[in-house]
Chains A and B, each alone.
Chain A
Amino acid sequence: MGLLRADHSRRISIALLAAMAVTAAGCVLLSKLEPSQKRFAFSHDIHIKEEMECADCHPGAEDSDTPGMPALGQCMLCHEGIDAEKPAEKKISNLFAGGKLIAVHASKLDPEVVFSHARHVVAGETCESCHSGIATNERIEPEMRLSMDSCMQCHSSKSTPNDCATCHKEIRADAPPPSHGHNWTRAHGATVRNPTGLIGDKCSLCHTESSCATCHKETPPQNHNNFWRIRGHGIAAQMDRAGCAVCHTPDTCSSCHADTLPQSHSGMWGSPKDSHCVTCHFPLTDNGCIACHTDTPSHALATPMPPWHDLGMNCRQCHGVTQPLNHVDDGSTCVMCHR
């Protein structure tokens, strides 16, 4: 723990804040940057202007589940002559790797998704219904990828089934997705606060606000058993009260402690044996009596704190050093008695 307490901690804090600021600035800068020379890309616009049909390159677009992508040989039927006079970097073969169209990933669906082009064509949809602006598109970008939002909006507007099973083989509202693994209960907060837009981040697809409240307001942790309620929670709260504040807001402590006797307050605790005295005066410990006993008579005799003092002062900086201390310093908070 000594690693944390040092004068250079403040410098570490500032350095971390500075690193975050630099990261944020870098993100802004990167988002503004564009390549000085764009890579050669496929243009739908040129091909449509040549009066080609979608099905000329995507043979399954109208009667199969998958549209089919053009093969290099298919393109070369026209481009063999066209490319002969083009520089090497402008040849159509640059768009292929291993005989496959490189850009195919831009619209590739997750294998878990069920989608049929043919069914949509039968239902009267055109290519433009989903691939908006494709006829004038000049280069294939990742942004062309269809989003689940657009699918759901269209389904909703046409009263087409919109439940999970309509498009997904495995994902269901009552079956957690892969992201909800072993660590999810501890780690989900970060995703809730900053969703990236991925399907797995869209809590509202399966959960409502009541889902949050059910856990966060009604379900106690496993260790909150009877011992915890009676005694254990006090020990844990002393070590990390911030952890309690996740659920316990805003006035649970004072309300219960105001009328619940501590477990020690039984038997000979009070008069005539007054065994409670020894809890503070021997062996000299602070038992937090002041939390409830704010006006204990015998303790009211303590010298009040001088008016020019305030609660933020460190009493021991003077008292016991340059100023007299008329009793043993038991380590307690001085203002418990000297108020």
Chain B
Amino acid sequence: MPVSEEPVQDQAAEAPIAPAPARIYPIHGSLSSSYRARTVSGDHDHDLTETLSLDFGDPAKDAWTGHVMTRLNGDLDGGQNDGRSRFHDLNDIDGETLVPRLYDAWVEAHEIGPLESLRLGRQTMWDTPVFAWFDGASARTAPVGPRALQLGIYGGVPVHPYESSSSGDSIAGAYVQAQPWKGGRGRLDWMHLEDRGDLGSHSNDLWRASVWQAFGKQLRADGWFTGLEGEERDWFARVSWVNEKSDFTITASWFELLTTQRDLAPEIDPFFTTLFELFPYRQARLLASKDFTEWVNVQVGIDTREVDDSNDVGRFNRDSDREFATLTLSDLTAAHVDLSLTGEKWNGDGSDIQTWGFDVTRRFGHDFRASIGSYYALFKVDSFLVDERDHVRTGYLRFRWHRTTNTTWDLRYEVEDTDDETFHFLRVGMTWAF
């Protein structure tokens, strides 16, 4: 599937990423604590969230390493479990006050005989044909020969955090990868998924051939071809040119889904039960970023998606276009003020989403940053004869303070005004890296 590298308007720069810790082995990581309050007329929600990330050992030196990432969400005013609260969300489904999530918990042995690594426990594999999140084992051989040939296998029980039972679910896969020529890498994947759910059982086999190629330092290309159940499923190609000297980046990609996807294991299409069939379509993307001076950057992006057969166009299979542009002015004054302006437009068969926003950030030394901004979104829905417009205006204030080398404080307040109601949002968080 065409994975956009980042969500629509990413806020990675504002993410509670722990400051790079001094790697005081054998244990390091981060602990984030945050309080979140949300209110709207007649309704409110107060939550506490703890996120712990731990790494044990140094892969370059230690025979064993490990990693744990977990989150605990506490609902201070009781579970919003009646389905009618304005703040009912995924944490409220079970009606519990405390909701733990274990994302990763694994130990890894390094260089055991022919194996480069053997990982046991709850883990996520990002480079498989679809993301594999499972409880089990994975092993990878050390690169062999001048072509750096590697084999890998994995298997276990997939993690479906909202399912009541994992009975009948399993995942297994294998891959072989090599660097057969300079700057290039090839990989062949096979993946088997078993899933048993209320709406039926699935058993799917997926394979993918992938290739990556770097042409010098500036040009890269990659692509894949995927098969599912003996049929062609999709293919993807991308070319990226990055010139650091001229601060110019351009990426073009093409994705094509070749066969209709319906009722598959949730890893392959997690949305079927809600959005039904995904019909064949093709999608082209172009992303460009250019620094014109040391303080002016422009990013533009265009996506266009078209369903293969116009007879398949419907509510959940649309032709759509998306364009966005961001202008960033850095260090506008001696006071280290940055300004960014973003506009975005989605157009999909009568349904439109238009947004624009600005952000002004002032840095006070290396330790303190304050931002103020606003964005506006217009959702226009004109599906057949229904005509609806929703206006959403959001204003925010954010403060970020690196109090010490290892601690960061975040404060964020947002007011969100829609046509019908006004939401208030407050988040106070602290991240300790150790």
Supply 5 further A-B pairs (C-beta < 8 A) apart from A28-B181, A30-B181, A183-B289. A4-B282, A9-B308, A193-B222, A208-B55, A237-B271
Residue A132 is within 8 A (CB to CB) of chain B in the complex: no
| Interface CB pairs A-B, < 8 A, 13 | A5-B308, A206-B20, A218-B51, A227-B379, A227-B392, A232-B392, A235-B351, A238-B318, A239-B346, A245-B1, A249-B131, A288-B316, A333-B276
CB-based contact A251/B163 at 8 Å: yes
Q: Which B residues are within 8 Å of any A CB, using their own CB?
A: 1-20, 29-30, 38, 40, 51, 53-55, 59-61, 67, 69, 71, 83-84, 86-90, 93, 103-104, 124, 126-127, 130-131, 133, 158, 160-163, 180-186, 211-214, 217, 220-223, 225, 235, 237-238, 240, 242, 244, 247, 249, 251, 254-256, 260, 262, 266-267, 270-271, 273-276, 278, 282-284, 287, 289, 291, 297, 299, 301, 303-308, 310-311, 314-316, 318-322, 326, 328, 346, 348, 351, 353, 355, 375, 377, 379, 381, 383-386, 390, 392, 394, 414, 416, 418, 423, 425
Instruction: State which residues 199-218 of A face B: CB under 8 Å.
Output: 204, 206, 208-215, 217-218
- The total number of A-B Cβ pairs within 8 Å is 324
Task: Let me know if B385 and A284 touch, CB within 8 A.
Answer: yes
- Is A328 located at the chain interface by the 8 A CB criterion? no
A333 to B222, CA, bound (A): 37
A209 to B119, CA, bound (A): 13
Any B CB within 8 A of the CB of A298? no
With a CB–CB cut-off of 8 A, which chain B residues contact A247?
7
Q: A300 on the interface (CB 8 Å rule)?
A: no
Q: Which segment of A17-25, A68-76, A104-112, A113-121 sits at the interface?
A: A17-25
User: What CA separation (Å) do A5 and B320 show in the bound complex?
Assistant: 13
Q: Is the CB of A283 within 8 A of B93?
A: no
Give every chain A residue within 8 A of B414 (Cβ-Cβ).
Answer: 225
A333 CA to B276 CA, complexed, in Å: 10
Q: How far is the CB of A4 from chain B (nearest CB, A)?
A: 4
Produce 1/0 per residue, A238-261, CB < 8 A to B. Answer: 111111111111111111111111
> Which B residues touch A181, using CB under 8 A?
247, 249, 289, 291, 297
Bound-state Cα–Cα, A311 to B276, Å: 11
Are A182 and B297 CB-contacts (below 8 A) given A210-B67, A231-B390, A261-B84? yes
Partner of A226, one of B213, B283, B416: B416
Q: What's the Cα separation between A52 and B333 when bound, in Å?
A: 59
Q: How far is the CA of A189 from the CA of B19 in the complex (A)?
A: 21
B394 and A250 within 8 A (CB): no
Establish whether residues A31 and B181, one from each chain, have CB atoms under 8 Å apart when the complex forms: yes
Question: Taking the complex as formed, is A303 at the interface, i.e. its CB lies under 8 A from any CB of chain B?
Answer: no
Task: Give bound CA distance, A44 to B313, whole Å.
Answer: 70
Question: Contacts A1-B306, A187-B249, A215-B12 known; A238 to B316 CB distance under 8 Å?
Answer: yes
3 A-B pairs with least C-beta separation: A255-B162, A221-B7, A183-B289
- Cα A60 to Cα B319 in complex, Å, equals 67
Of chain A, the residue at the smallest CB distance from B29 is A210
Cα separation A216 to B258 with both chains bound (whole Å): 28
Does A196 lie at the interface of the complex (its beta carbon under 8 Å from any beta carbon of B)? yes
Which of A83-91, A133-141, A171-179, A318-326 faces chain B? A171-179
Q: Which chain A residues in 135-190 approach chain B with CB under 8 Å?
A: 156, 173-174, 178-179, 181-183, 185-190
Asked whether B392 lies within 8 Å of A212 as measured between CB atoms, the reply is no
- Nearest CB of chain B from residue A110's CB, rounded to whole Å: 12
Could you tell me if B160 and A251 are in contact, using CB atoms closer than 8 angstroms? yes
| A271 contacts the other chain (CB 8 A) | no
A286 CA to B316 CA, complexed, in Å: 10
The reply to whether A214 and B17 contact each other, CB–CB distance below 8 Å, is yes
Select B221's contact among A23, A189, A211, beta carbons within 8 Å. Answer: A23
User: Provided the pairs A183-B289, A187-B240 are in contact, do residues A223 and B60 lie with their beta carbons within 8 angstroms?
Assistant: no
- Which one of A156, A225, A237, A240 contacts B322 once the chains associate, using CB atoms below 8 Å? A240
Residues of chain B contacted by A316 (CB below 8 angstroms): 311
What are the residues of chain A within 8 A of B287 when measuring CB–CB?
183, 186-187
Contact between B304 and A20, CB atoms less than 8 A apart = no
B346 near A291 (CB under 8 angstroms)? no
**Do A254 and B244 have beta carbons less than 8 Å apart?**
no
How far is B126's CA from A173's CA once the two chains are assembled, in angstroms? 24
Q: Smallest distance from the beta carbon of A125 to chain B beta carbons, Å?
A: 21
User: Is there contact, CB below 8 Å, between B242 and A20?
Assistant: no
Task: Point out which of B88, B299, B301, B375 has the most chain A C-beta atoms below 10 A from its C-beta.
Answer: B88
Bound together, the chains give a CA A215 to CA B346 distance in angstroms of: 24
Q: Chain A interface residue count: which class? A: 35 or more
Q: Is the CB of A1 within 8 A of B304?
A: yes
- Does A13 make an interface contact (CB < 8 A)? yes
Contact B7 A156, beta carbon cutoff 8 Å: no
Chain B proximity mask over A89-101: 1 for CB below 8 Å, otherwise 0: 0000000000000
Give chain B nearest CB distance to A37 CB in angstroms. Answer: 22
Residues of chain B contacted by A82 (CB below 8 angstroms) = none
Residue numbers in A under 8 Å from B379 (CB-CB): 227, 231-232, 235
- Contact (A174, B19) CB under 8 Å given A187-B249, A255-B162: yes
Can you name the residue of chain B whose Cβ is closest to the Cβ of A232? B379
Closest partner residue, chain B, to A336 (CB atom): B276
Alpha-carbon gap, A229 to B247, bound state (A) = 36
A194's contact among B6, B212, B267, B319, by CB below 8 Å, is which? B212
- Give min CB distance, A285 to chain B, whole Å: 5
**Are A240 and B320 neighbours in the complex by a CB distance under 8 Å?**
yes
**B11, A227: Cβ atoms closer than 8 Å:** no
Distance from B89 Cβ to chain A, minimum over Cβ atoms (Å): 6
A333, B314: Cβ atoms closer than 8 Å: yes
With contacts A226-B423, A256-B89 known, is A28 near B180, CB below 8 A?
yes
- Which of B60, B271, B307, B377 is the one whose CB lies under 8 Å from A241? B271
A78 close to chain B: CB less than 8 A:
no
Query: Given A194-B212, A260-B83, A291-B273, does the pair A27, B20 have CB atoms closer than 8 Å?
Result: no
A160 to chain B, nearest CB (A): 14
Q: Is B223 in contact with A20, judged by CB distance below 8 angstroms?
A: yes
Kindly state the separation between the CA atoms of A232 and B276 in the bound complex, as whole angstroms: 19
For A256, list chain B residues within 8 Å (CB). Answer: 89-90, 93
> Nearest chain-B residue to A252 (Cβ)?
B90
- List chain A residues, Cβ under 8 A from B220: 190-191, 194, 196
Nearest-CB distance from A141 to chain B (Å)? 13
Q: Which residues of B contact A258 (CB under 8 A)?
A: 93
Is A312 an interface position by the 8 A CB rule? Answer: yes
Separation of A201 and B60 alpha carbons in the complex (Å): 17
Residues of chain A lying within 8 A (CB to CB) of residue B260: 312
What chain A residues lie within 8 Å of B103 (beta carbons)? 213, 217
Is A286 in contact with B20, judged by CB distance below 8 angstroms?
Answer: no
Quick one: given A13-B256, A213-B103, A227-B377, are A285 and B282 in contact (CB under 8 Å)?
no
A319 to B162, CA, bound (A): 40
Asked if A81 is an interface residue, CB under 8 A from chain B, the answer is no
Write the nearest CB–CB distance from A190 to chain B, whole angstroms.
Answer: 5
Tell yes or no: A314 within 8 A of B by CB. yes
Tell me, in angstroms, the Cα distance from A211 to B67 when the chains sit together.
Answer: 11
Counting chain B CB atoms within 10 Å of each CB, the highest count among A156, A221, A238, A239 belongs to: A239
